[in-house]
Amino acid sequence: MKLLVVEDDRETAAYLQKGLSESGYAVDRAGDGREGLFMASSGGYDAIVLDRMLPGMDGLAVLGALRAADIRTPALILSALGSVDDRVKGLRAGGDDYLVKPFAFSELLARIEALLRRGQAAPATTSLRVADLELDLLTRSVKRGGKPIELLPREFSLLEYLMRNSGQVVTRTMLLEHVWDYHFDPQTNVIDVHVSRLRQKIDKNFDRPLLHTVRGAGYCLRAPD
């Protein structure tokens, strides 16, 4: 899942990016309203965390421009303005949720998770399955052959992306852009390291491997023939 954080306060933005990345999300940052609008308009984000009081263009104006362009990416507004009127204005401007600063990170994370579930096509997908490998999006748990598999947040996100694209070749560029929060660096081995660890967890001690390396192309998670 890929998120966009639009926040002009560097300390707050860094705090959000770190916490969300550690929770398994790929996170991009924008430092003002105009940059946030440009990035959000390009698409590719599953949700937006949007500060209301931004330089250049405030958060409500950003939302208005996005909704006018029929961009419906779920948006969580962050603001120090917490009166009922302020919250109503934020929601009526196109916000999907409104969280008052200061906030607890656990609550922000729960609200983002709720937005992502709400934004899924009905009926909402709550689990993924490839052969005997099962991933539960609500409990963030994984089993293969009924046996629980413990994954770190980034490994879970990597597996989720591979399972959503099961049977297709997924390139390293695609993984870096959708699972991590930076673009393709041909020198990095972060993909190889994480895929190797994931393979050890989901394929080791099982008769038939599911995760395959496609030489010169990328990786593919598929059910055995």
What is the per-residue pLDDT across 165-182, written as a single tens digit (0 to 9) for each?
999 999 888 888 788 766
Look at residue 176 in the predicted model and tell me its pLDDT: 82
**pLDDT, position 11:** 93
Q: Could you confirm whether domain 2-118 is CATH 3.40.50.2300? A: yes
pLDDT tens digits for 84-117? 998 999 999 899 999 999 889 999 999 999 988 8
Show the tokens assigned to 92. 């009526």
Rounded-to-integer distance, Cα 75 and Cα 63, Å: 8
Q: What is the pLDDT of residues 182-221, one digit of tens each?
A: 655 556 788 889 999 999 999 998 999 999 999 988 999 9
| Domain limits, the chain | 2-118, 127-221
Residue 130 has pLDDT above 90, yes or no: yes
* Helix, strand, or coil (residue 160): helix
Confidence bin at 124 (pLDDT 50/70/90)? low
Q: Does the pLDDT at position 3 exceed 90?
A: yes
Range in 32-46, 73-87, 183-197 the model is least confident about: 183-197
What's the number of CA atoms in the CB half-sphere (13 Å) around residue 33? 17
Q: Which of 121, 197, 130, 183 is nearest to 160 (CA)?
A: 130
Q: Where are the alpha helices (DSSP H) in the chain?
A: 10-22, 33-41, 59-68, 84-92, 105-118, 153-164, 172-178, 190-202
* CA–CA gap between residue 77 and residue 37 (Å, rounded): 14
Mean pLDDT over all residues of the chain?
A: 89
Helix (H, G, I), strand (E, B) or coil at 16: helix
- Paired sense of beta strands 97-100 and 75-79, if any: parallel
Q: Residue 186's pLDDT is what? A: 53
Return the CATH number of the domain spanning residue range 127-221.
1.10.10.10
C-beta separation of 71 from 96 below 8 A: no
User: What is the reported pTM?
Assistant: 0.61
Q: Concatenated DSSP letters for 21-77?
A: HHTT-EEEEESSHHHHHHHHHT---SEEEEESS-SSS-HHHHHHHHHHTT----EEE
